[in-house]
Structure 1
Amino acid sequence: MRQIKTWVQLYVDWITRIGIIRFSLLLAFCIISIAVVIQGTITLLLRGVVDVVDLVRSVFFGLLVTPWAAYFLTAVIDELEDSRRRLTDMVHKLQIMRERDQALNQRLQSNISQLNNQIEETRRAEAARLRVLSELEAEAIQREKAQKELEEQSALLRSFLDSSPDLVFYRNEREEFLSCNRALETLLGRSRDDIIGRTPYGVYEPQMAEQIISRDREVFEKNQPITYELWFPYPDGRRACFEMRQVPFFAAHGERLGLVGFGRDITEHKQYQDELEKASRDKTTFISTISHELRTPLNGVVGLSHILLDTPLNDLQRQYLNTIHLSAVTLGNIFNDIIDLDKIERRKLKIARSKIDLRQLLADLQTLSSLMVEAKGLYLHFDIDGDVPHWIMADGTRLRQILWNVLSNAVKFTAEGGITFGVQVSPSEENKVYLRFDIEDTGIGIPEHEQQNIFAMYYQVPGTKRAVGTGIGLAITKQLVETMGGSIHVDSELGHGSCFTIELEATVLPDSQNDEAEAMLAQELPPLRILLVEDIALNITVATAMLNKLGHQVDAAMTGREALAKFQPERYDLVLLDIQLPDMTGFDIADELRQRYPEKLPPLVALTANLINDPSQYQQHGMQAVIGKPLALGNLRKTLNELFVGCALPSESEVVVEAPNKYVLDLPFLEDFTGVVGCDVMVSAIDLFAQSMPEYLKILNSALTARDKQGIVEEAHKIKSAAGAIGLKRIHQLAQQAQSPDLPAWQENINDWIDSICAEYQGDLECLRQWVQQQRTETQTAQ
Structure 2
Amino acid sequence: MNIFNLKIWVHYYVALLKRLGAVRFSLILAAAIMTADFLLQILLAYYFNEPLDIVIVYRSFILGLLITPWAVYFLTVVVGDLEDARQNLDDTVVKLQVLLKNDQQKTEALEREIIEHHKSQSKVEQAAILLRSFIDTSPDLFFHRDLKGCFVSCNKAMELLTGKTEKQLIGLTPFDIFPEAYANEVVQRDERVQDSQKEQIHEHWLHYPNGRKAYFEVRALPLYSSQKTCVGIIGFGRDITERKKNEEFLEKASRDKTTFISTISHELRTPLNGIVGLSRMLLDEPLSSEQIKLLKTIHISAITLGNIFNDIVDLDKLDRRRLNLVSNHIDMFDFMSDLKSLAFIQSEQKGLALRFEQSSLLPHYIDADDTRLRQVLWNLISNAVKFTMQGSVTIRCFCTRKEGTQDQLHFEVQDSGIGIPADQLEKIFAMYYQVEGNTHATGTGIGLAVSSQIVQAMGGKLSVSSELGQGSIFKLSLPMDCSDKEAKPITVLATLPTLSILLVEDIELNIIVATSLLEKSGHQVDSATNGKQALQKVASKQYQLILMDIQLPDMDGYQVTQQLRQRYGDNLPPIVALTANVFTDKQKFIDQGMDDALGKPLGAESLNAMIKRLFVSTETTDALLPYKAQNTIESLFDEVMLTELFDFLPTSVMLANLALFEKMMQDYLQVLDSNVIAKDKNGIASEAHKIKGAAGSVGLKRIQELAQKIQSPDLPAWWDNIDDWVELIKSHYKSDVALLKKWIVAHGK
TM-score by length of 1: 0.46
